[in-house]
Structure formats: C-alpha cells, structure tokens
Amino acid sequence: MKELTPLFDLDAMEPVQRNSNGLTGQDVLSVAQFDREKLEYVFARAREMRAMVGKIGGTDLLKGHVLACLFYEPSTRTSSSFIAAMERLGGSVIPITSGVKFSSVSKGETLADTIRTLEQYSDAIVLRHPKIGSAQVAADYASVPVLNAGDGAGEHPTQALLDLFTIREELGRIDGLKVAMVGDLRYGRTVQSLTKLLLNYDVSLRFVSPEILRLPLTTMNQVIDAKKDVRETHDVADVIENADVLYVTRVQKERFSDLSQYEEVKDYYEITTELMEKAKEKMVVMHPLPRVGEIHYAVDSDPRAAYFRQVKNGMYIRMALLAAVLGKA
C-alpha cells in the first residue's frame, strides 16, 4: 500500500485535508467490498484515530455532519460506538436506538420511507435490521451512505473489520495465523463476515460447533474455493493448543424457531481458566459480545483475553469508516 499522508497534525491539533479514498460517498454493506489494500487503508486510519483520541480526545473533522443511527434490534456496543465515533469526530447523531417501537415504524411505516425520511436530516445512516438483505434495500432508497450494522443472520461488516483489526494489533500480523471460530457458526453473522475477510490472507481456519450450528454451506464453499487449510470439529480441545486466535460466540436464542434446540446447545462450550492453561502463551481470545456464560469471568484477567480491547477498537474503526465515507479521510 502506498504511504498515506497523515490524517491529523497532532502537534497543531488540526485535521489535514484529505483526498478521495475510494470509500467517499460509498455504502458499507458487505465485507466483499474490502480487499487487502482497502483493509490496510482503513486500519491505518483507525490507528490515526486511536492516536488522536489518546492525545486530544476529539476533533472537528466531521463538524456540521449528522449521522442517523437506526436500530430495529437491540444493540449496546455497535450503537454506542457509532455514536461515540461520530461525536469524537465533532459530528452530531440522531439516535433511534431504543427500539423502533418509539418511532413511526410502530405505525406501519416501511423501511424505505423511514430511510427516505432520515436522509433528509442526515449525511449518513447506520442501520441494524432483523432481515437479511435489509441494508441493501436501505441503500437502494438512500441518497446518503448506508452502513450495515447487522442484517439478521446475514452480515456485520463493521464488526468484522474491527475483529480483523484487533487480530492485527494484538498479534502483529494476520498471514500465517491459525484462527478457530467457536460456538454459533450457523446464525453468527460476525463469524461469517470475519471468515470472508480472512480469505484475503494466508490463514488456517478451524470451525468448532455442535452439528446444528455448523457454518452454512455457502460460506464453507467459499473457504474451500479459496483453498484454505480448514477443518471442522465439535470439541474445543481439538484446537486450543495450536490456535493463535480463539474467536468465541454466544448461541443466539433469538435466532431459534425451536427453543428446545436452543436448550440443547446453549451451554455446549465454556472457556475456562483450566482450558486456557492448554493454550499458547501468545494468542488471543476474542468475542463480539454480549456473552452469556461461554467465557468464564475468571478468564477476563488473562492477558490473552482481548474482547474488551476489541470493543474499544470498534470505535476507532467506525471513526475511520465515517470519516472515509463522508470524504474526510
């Protein structure tokens, strides 16, 4: 990747005017939009955001810009990190994050009309929706950039970007790593999005899940077509000793139509301090959160537990993306 002009003059505490970055005015709907070059660009900008926040806390880079956060599903980390990202950059937020039951959606308004309304007030829209493909529908109607914050069991591209960034920052590289995905691989949109991003790199992939929560065949076929070293197993013990990254997910009760199936698998995996004794000295445990028991609290004090550092990285990645799509990075 060619050398970038710094985004900020931290000595003068002023932003530096940027040229077009290839993301200006674009939607962020899928990880398929990102190749290695674009990933490295976003990561470089995220590092600058981290340095800026650490030194001066915030900037006026996006002063005068407004972000609409439209969440049809509950969210803590994604919604708050987008809000924090926009405010750290000097912009404003329309927060529809307490549930659309308090909006005109409760009166029967369509997604298209809600998007058309919000774009009248904002420069970009972040959308979380329970239906696969909803982000694309929103983008079809919007004249401002739409950022997909999760569309059902489909994709969660900004989460995948922050996950990959965390791996890079924690371990110093991505190529050559062994990445093990554990838990709900069928409904876990974060797993599927991260897996697709990892196909840009020379990695080995291990998928650990009960039978009914295996990685969807469509995603597995992409892994196979990319000629990656890949294996499936039901037992974390099969992967823990060699894994560089242990990416753990909760079993998502809200995705099950048959709750008896959920009860069968909800406690299938638990990451304990005893299990971590078998892991490499230099590796990371990650989780998109929230957790519901799959990682014991005692593991939190392990320096290899990266999930709260992962959370913080989400703000820096989303700051980089917002600045990029709004033409300021």
What's the rounded Cα separation, in Å, for the pair 101 and 84? Answer: 23
Of 28, 6, 1, the residue nearest 16 (C-alpha): 6
Is 309 assigned a catalytic role? no
Which one is catalytic: 2, 101, 107, 227? 107
Q: Is the peptide bond before 290 cis (omega within 30 degrees of 0)?
A: yes
229 pairs with which residues across the strands?
Answer: 204
Which one is catalytic: 65, 129, 156, 287? 156
Number of H helices and number of E strands within the chain? Answer: 10, 11
Is 130:156 a contact under the CB 8 Å cutoff?
A: no
Which one is catalytic: 59, 78, 158, 249? 78
CA dihedral (114, 154, 188, 251) positive or negative = positive
Q: Return the residue matching tokens 């959370």.
A: 311
What's the rounded Cα separation, in Å, for the pair 193 and 70? Answer: 21
Please give the full DSSP string across 67-104, using - where no structure is assigned. Answer: EEEEESS--SHHHHHHHHHHHHTT-EEEEE-S-GGGSG
Alpha carbon distances (Å) from 255 to 87, 259, 267: 33, 9, 16
Of 111, 105, 61, 109, the residue nearest 87 (C-alpha): 61
Is 218 assigned a catalytic role? no
Burial of 103 (0-12, 13-18, 19+ CB in 10 A): middle
Is 234 assigned a catalytic role? no
Which one is catalytic: 18, 128, 266, 318? 128
Amino acid present at 137: V
Is 47 assigned a catalytic role? no
SS3 for 229?
Answer: strand
Which one is catalytic: 77, 116, 291, 296? 77
Residue 143 makes CB contacts below 8 A (sequence gap 6+) with 119
SS3 for 325?
Answer: helix
Count of residues in the chain: 329
Is 78 assigned a catalytic role? yes
Catalytic residues: 77-78, 107, 128, 156
